[in-house]
Structure 1
């Protein structure tokens, strides 16, 4: 092999090595992965997982399109539950699926959550597990068999009687929340359990607040531990996207 051929091989080898070294960085660039869109109102809803430059999950959210808040079912008319798949591509998270529950007339307790709003349930369990959740009475949330251990509850949260809902679980609320202290309910954060284990995380947001083109963020109170290994959100955000007039409900990992 002559000198020219040797230098040519060396050049090609150097280029190949630089491409190999660059590949991981290209793969680790911040990305966004969307789940399949589901009809909601006159628009759609879908899940989205966003990663940072290191390829780690930065946020998990729900995108409501421009017309998703229009033409929603009236009280007593369905559908009221919209099942969303997590993105088929991208990194896995602790969540298996999402259910958006539209509460046209709100729900108990009266004068607190009895206004039109959405319950955004991020489930850790599978769809099959969710469908198997059964209660004889809503008061079963007070049963010791349903009360989670203290270390799985964020500080200040309680699971009161009357919060057991079939195909959901029991709901833990924060009595220090603004809606329990003389201020109107706009957005709040619920922890959900079944048989003493964490089963879902749930931002609840009023229709009027979503329609107001909001820019809102709050920390998510953290329990002492989680019983399912994984990375959990530290804050949640409700934000309007002026680029396409959508609204996002986002669980932020960082």
Structure 2
């Protein structure tokens, strides 16, 4: 586990995002969709895993009073079908409960992926715990987790300073189609070790629903570098069993198997929570004309 330092830019960019979402709401009206399970659109009960799939465990790390572990699921042919993080029930207890002003505002837990994940675009997983959430008030200021599925190495992340000239790399657009249609770059979202953030202003938390989970993309130096489910602790503790379709990009930074949905599940028998990127499809970088 490593602790990260506070970044006021995240507070500012989320406040800006909330204003932007409100303006979109005023201009276009409310997003109308069939919803359930905390306001999510197009949510379905999670489908059972095929008996032919094999799960390969990755790194196990201490997490609260329990543990977290990474894993990848493979088809009978050896192709990845899902990748995720599983938390023991005890991991919800014993987490840092407060922050020291001017020093620490979130805890980060990093897990490597098993070698069998090499056909995935993801390099490692970092879970950030935000005990007080963050701005904007009334939206994300609740305790929640950020599940970052990074496409670059930890060494590459350590070079992202989000300071000085590096801000230009954080702000550089990955190009048309690299993030899903409708996503916007959140101004002043530059973070050390992360880059810039892209969010969906149509997400339910900007349209009168309580924040339960949402999905973020991150970019740096003109490329998408992470996919991120962001989920509240309170929603996890309702022990959900849901799968949500992802808004997908039209272009991909590298060849590999990419998710088309993400799931949040609780296993009562094993007393575990699982957050997974699922329903993988092979995507290839389009050749330049």
Mapped contact 1:100–1:118 kept (Cα < 8 A): yes
The corresponding residue for 2:181 is: 155
Unaligned runs of at least 5 residues, structure 1: 1-28
**8 Å CA contact 1:81, 1:102 repeated in 2:** yes
Query: Are residues 237 and 209 of structure 1, via their aligned partners in 2, closer, same or farther at CA, if it must alter by over 3 Å?
Result: same
5 Å-filtered alignment, 1:28-47, equals 29-47=52-70
2:262 aligned with 1:236: yes
Does the alignment pair 1:167 with 2:190?
Answer: no
Find out whether 1:107 has 2:130 as its counterpart: no
Q: Structure 2 stretches of 5 or more lacking a match?
A: 1-51, 281-289
Deviation at 1:197, TM superposition (A): 0.5
**Does the 8 A contact of 1:171 with 1:193 survive in 2?**
yes
Deviations 1:207-235 (A, max 9, x none): 00111111121111111111111111000
- Structure 1 position 91, deviation (Å): 5.2
State the alpha-carbon separation in 1 of the partners of residues 262 and 242 from structure 2: 8
Return the offset for 1:167.
Answer: 0.6
Deviation at 1:144, TM superposition (A): 8.8
Correspondence 1:162-241 to 2 at 5 A = 162-241=188-267
Query: What is the CA–CA distance in structure 1 between the aligned matches of 2:137 and 2:222, rounded to whole Å?
Result: 26
What is the total number of aligned residue pairs between the two structures?
Answer: 224
Please state whether the residue corresponding to 1:152 is helix, strand or coil: coil
CA distance in 1, matches of 2:225, 2:256: 14
Q: Which runs of 4+ in 1 moved over 3 A?
A: 88-92
Take 2:117 and 2:127, find their aligned partners in 1: how far apart are those partners? Answer: 22
Cα 1:88/1:224, change in 2 over 3 Å: closer
1:25 is matched with none
After TM superposition, the structure 1 = structure 2 runs for residues 59-78 of structure 1, keeping only pairs within 5 Å, are 59-76=82-99
**Preserved CA contact (<8 Å) 2:171 2:190:** no
**Contact 1:30–1:54 (CA under 8 A) maintained in structure 2:** no
Q: Which has the higher contact order (CA 8 A, sep 6+)?
A: 2
Q: Post-superposition shift, 1:54?
A: 2.4
TM-score, structure 2 normalization: 0.73
SS at 2:90's partner residue? coil
Q: Which residue of 2 aligns with 1:50?
A: 73
